[in-house]
Amino acid sequence: MGHLSVTVLAQQPSKVAMLPTKSGFVARRSLLMGSLAMLQVANPRRALGRNARDNHDEDLEFEMRTMQLFESTTRSVVAIQDLDLSSNVAAVDMDDGEIQGIGSGFVWDRFGHIVTNYHVISKIAKDTSGKKQIKVVLLGLNGDVDSYNAAIIGLDASRDLAVLKVQENLFRWLFTFFFSLVFKIEVPESSVLRPAVIGSSKDLRVGQNCYAIGNPYGYEHILTTGVVSGLCRQIPSPSGKPIFGAIQTDASINAGNSGGPLLDSFGRVIGINTATFTRRGSGTSSGVNFAVAIDLVRQVVPHLIVEGAVSSSRSVERGVLGPPRYLSLP
């Protein structure tokens, strides 16, 4: 295995173009299908269903599907930024500092826990000057962008995972508190939080589509697509120990979407975008990219949240991932 590294790249957000409709009939059908799909999508906990279509509409439908998937999951993907206060010594206000986008993450639950890669925040985690603050940027309910402070809850360098928790700032908190007092309604604690729908990586098949979403700047989502290229791969972790059961994909994974989710066609998270294979010094992706499998993440993250770290190591993998799984003869 060669030198695996995550490299910093500037990525243009890719916009999926609308296909011109072929005929009025098709347009009406697609609109109906589209709106039906939108209705289903409104409840994020339900996986996207499928109706029977004929091949004629398949390409148009694939594009609509991709767009809907992106729109429904985009609010769960957050930007993780590093606010460096050390550049401005006299700063009193937390917002006076240099903000640098360092990666992506996604919302794990309604309590405000954010899952990302360890390597995305490792520099801040090791920083002792107290002059660095992690900021998490979410898309709000009405499309506006909100930035929150985040604290590190759990770290696992051996699986390249980290858990953050967003903290509301004082003024926003006071506002919602008085709002609920005055109007006597319960303001849901996490109305801006849209937890991602979690899937499973054990029934993945090589060849199925996958979508990597990132949010490197907080308002510009990036979507890359590809197929599952291989399963049960072994990749190095920041601690040096290998991560087992990684998903290989040819969807581009780079510094912008690192830490963000890898989704299947149903909008479920099947992995965390983690690394790309680069030849030493080139810094460009080669089409050989990796994501940590969601089954491992789902086993480890609750412990990271509650305890801050995982007590035992290898037993977690064996219980979750099983022996390397391949195919049976046709």
- CB nearer other proteins, residue 142 or residue 328: 328
**Does the annotation count 96 as an active-site position?**
no
Nearest to residue 218, comparing CAs of 83, 49, 16? 83
Of the ranges 22-30, 43-51, 87-95, 254-262, which one interacts with other proteins (CB under 8 A)? 43-51
Cα–Cα distance, 79 to 186 (Å, whole number): 28
- Report the nearest approach of other proteins to the CB of residue 72 (Å): 12
Q: Helix, strand or coil for residue 41?
A: helix
Judge whether 236 and 157 are in contact, CB under 8 Å: no
Is 119 an annotated catalytic residue? Answer: yes
Q: Contact between 125 and other proteins (CB under 8 A)?
A: yes
Q: Which of residues 167-226 bind other proteins (CB under 8 A)?
A: 167, 170, 173, 177, 180-181, 186-189, 195, 197-200, 203, 205-209, 226
Q: What is the token pair recorded at 38?
A: 């939108």
- Of the candidates 217, 222, 233, 214, the residue with the CA atom closest to the CA atom of residue 321: 233
Q: How far is the CB of 245 from other proteins (least distance, A)?
A: 13
Catalytic residue among 72, 258, 264, 295, which?
258
Eight-state DSSP code of residue 62: H
258 is catalytic: yes
**15 binds other proteins, rule: CB under 8 A:** no
Catalytic residue among 160, 250, 264, 295: 160
Which range touches other proteins (CB under 8 A), out of 11-19, 96-104, 105-113, 216-224?
Answer: 105-113
Pattern 243-262, other proteins, x by CB under 8 A: -----x-x------------
Q: Which of residues 24 and 128 has its CB atom nearest to other proteins in the complex? A: 128
Is the distance from CB of 262 to CB of 276 less than 8 angstroms?
A: no
> DSSP string covering 253-282, please?
--TTTTTSEEE-TTS-EEEEEEEEE--TTT
Nearest alpha carbon to residue 277 among 299, 260, 252 = 252
Verify binding: residue 266, other proteins, rule CB under 8 A. yes
Annotated catalytic residues are 119, 160, 258
